[in-house]
Amino acid sequence: MRVIASANQKGGCGKTTTAINLSSSLSLKGKRVLLIDFDPQAHATMGLNVKPSDRKNSIYDVITPKENKSLGIKDILVPIKDNFDLAPSSLILSAVEQELSGMEGREDRLFQAIQALKEQYEYIIIDCPPSIGHLCFNALRACEEVIIPIDMSLFSLRGVAKLLDIIILLKDKIGHDVRSRALITMYDRRTRYSRIVLEKVKAEFGNNVFETVIRYNIRLRETADCGLPVGDYDKNAIGHKDYENLAEEVIRQEAARMYPDLNTLNVTQDILQKTEEYIDMSVKPPGIEQPISEMENFSPHSPQSNYSQMVEAIATKSTNSFLSDEDG
């Protein structure tokens, strides 16, 4: 099992798009994939046409400490399509940042939760929130590899600095080796600025940049709004081809990372303190508009994903009427 997080402190750089479309492309290649939506904004959940408000439970119920036994990831799974399951998120996940503060073992909640799934999946992809906090820390602790999407802005590159700090701390303090690789997203070779950012990313990351470059492709935006991975809507889209290439490159890479010893709680105190300093310093992630109390109104039903109906509904529409044809 390979656990790969999609992370960058900057919002809008392609973390969720990468998580959804890499997961889908891996599943199309026959790999058993679980996508964990670990962002309270639940964009990956909604991007797969699963409504957080329709779900009784989410990854929050797995991560949050409960008096009774917390749920396992298997209790919240939503099957999306062949080989592809989702562990959905919901806005209430943002409460975890406070709930885990000061709690023993807080850094290991996600790591522990995925141990039970080792036999079930070949790939676990984690979509991280755009902030450095307990959620991001849990994701980095749980993964062996991190993909850092970098869109064509230098802010995106700056957002990487704190993430890399935590990765270095994890390695120094508990020997947890997270291999990080930058992924260029929204690349437009026609602009000089894109080429400048590409050069800067290569200078910063050296060999740790994916050969695959994700080009700007309006289909990726449109299909996310429809609740579909791009390839399930338009197999000829540039975005689908790019994420197919990324999946192939990921599969080619050796999974050479082993999980470290679990008995390292004491040594992580330094790291936690540093993380908590970051939380204090950081601004709230953008895009959280509803108060948490609204999200407590969960429906008692937990319907399956209506993904297949969605595919069917979209497939019956003509391509031209649904999406503009200028791109992809």
Q: Could you list the residues that contact ligand ADP (CB under 6 A)?
A: 11-17, 43, 130, 185-186, 214, 216-218, 220-221, 224, 239
DSSP 152-176: SSHHHHHTHHHHHHHHHHHHHHH--
To the nearest whole angstrom, how small is the minimum distance from the Cβ of residue 227 to ligand ADP? 12
Report yes or no: 168 and 203 within 8 Å, Cβ to Cβ: no
Q: Does 134 bind Mg ion (CB under 5 A)?
A: no
Q: Which of 59, 50, 30, 47 is nearest to 227 (CA)?
A: 47
CB 56 within 8 A of CB 299: yes
Residue 109 touches which member of Mg ion, ligand ADP, none, C-beta under 5-8 Å by kind: none
**Nearest to ligand ADP of 85, 242 (CB atom):** 242
**Least distance (Å) from ligand ADP to the CB of residue 214?**
5
Considering the complex, what minimum distance in angstroms separates the CB of residue 247 from ligand ADP?
A: 15
C-beta of 289: minimal distance to Mg ion in Å? 15
Q: Which helix H or strand E contains 20, and what residues bound it?
A: helix 15-28
In this structure, what is the dihedral angle of CA atoms 85, 134, 91, 2, given to the nearest 10 degrees? -10
Closer to Mg ion at the Cβ: 89 or 305? 89
Report helix, strand or coil for 83: coil
Nearer to ligand ADP, 8 or 268 (CB): 8
Looking at beta carbons only, is 32 or 219 nearer to ligand ADP? 219
3-state per-residue secondary structure call for 265-299: CHHHHHHHHHHHHHHHHCCCCCCCCCCHHHHCCCC
Q: Interface residues for Mg ion in 4-43 (CB under 5 A)?
A: 15-16, 43
Q: Which is nearer to ligand ADP, 17 or 89 (CB)?
A: 17
Instruction: With CB under 5 A as the rule, give the number of residues binding Mg ion.
Output: 3
Q: Name the residue whose CB lies closest to Mg ion.
A: 16
